[in-house]
Amino acid sequence: MHTPSPTGTALDRILDARRAEVEHRKKVLPLTALKYGVKAATPLRDFSAALAKPGLNVIAELKPASPSRGVIRDPFDPAELAQTLESAGAAALSVLTESEFFRGSLKNLRDARKASALPALRKDFIFDPWQVWEARANDSDSFLLIVAALNDNQLSELLALGRELGMEPLIEVHTREELERVVSVDAKIIGVNNRDLKTLEVHVQTSFDLIEHIPESCIAVSESGLRSHHDLQKLRAAGFDAFLIGEQLMLAADPGAALAQILNQPEQG
């Protein structure tokens, strides 16, 4: 069995903080209360279908800050951003909910989803089934699983629970070894993160290196470092179905206009 080993990287520091926070929150909000919240949650939207349409399917990410760049967008209005990005042609939303390193929140997730008709992914560091119940209770339609942060048992358990609740997770890899682990658990949505979460460096080549090893039956998503229509065209031709774009949009004065340009306007010259 594969078990992640702490190395003192950025990912490890974030996970240590999240484990402490989740343990505290579990004491404040028992699982029985979360399950009641799931019953009262709004109906699910089909995240998988949104990514599998013809064309350039962009998951627009709402991210106030990041460990690599600090504050990215301030002020940050998730409802307004969700409406703007939906109007510009986003296929789905990804909303950061980690508070310490990304300044996100579950309220941002609820507000963004309520303001648009798009399916929404909870973007966080999820390792406990309690967090999956929490995601659905807060109206999430999908959630992120980072393979580098999970052992095999955790990966299988969280995937199974997501499907039980009707949420097919986006499972994120960065290496060939991680991809093989994901394929072995019959993942349906596989994301290739071009950002190495241990060093925070970004190399879009990572997507091109791994796409040939992703089964055609899977929805393939390229994440991080995507800046232009040309980037998306090349990745689409290589076999990717969808593209997660965050900082490029959040840094723009007009995120909707930035997304529209990426989707519709080839580079000139």
Active-site positions read 61, 63, 123, 172, 193, 223-224
Cβ burial 138-155 (10 Å sphere, 16+ → b, else e): bbbbbbbbbbbbbeeebb
Angle at 211 between CA 61 and CA 157, to 5 degrees: 65
CA 65 to chain CA centroid, nearest Å: 15
What does the radius of gyration of the chain's CA atoms come to, in whole angstroms?
A: 17
Burial class (CB in 10 A: 0-12, 13-18, 19+), 222: buried
Whole-number Å distance between alpha carbons of 169 and 164: 11
Count CB neighbours of 205 within 10 A: 10
Task: Tell me the residue type at 114.
Answer: K
Whole-number Å distance between alpha carbons of 49 and 29: 32
Question: Which pair of structure tokens corresponds to residue 118?
Answer: 């798009």
Name the 3-class secondary structure at 167. Answer: coil
Of 162, 145, 90, the C-alpha closest to 120 is 90
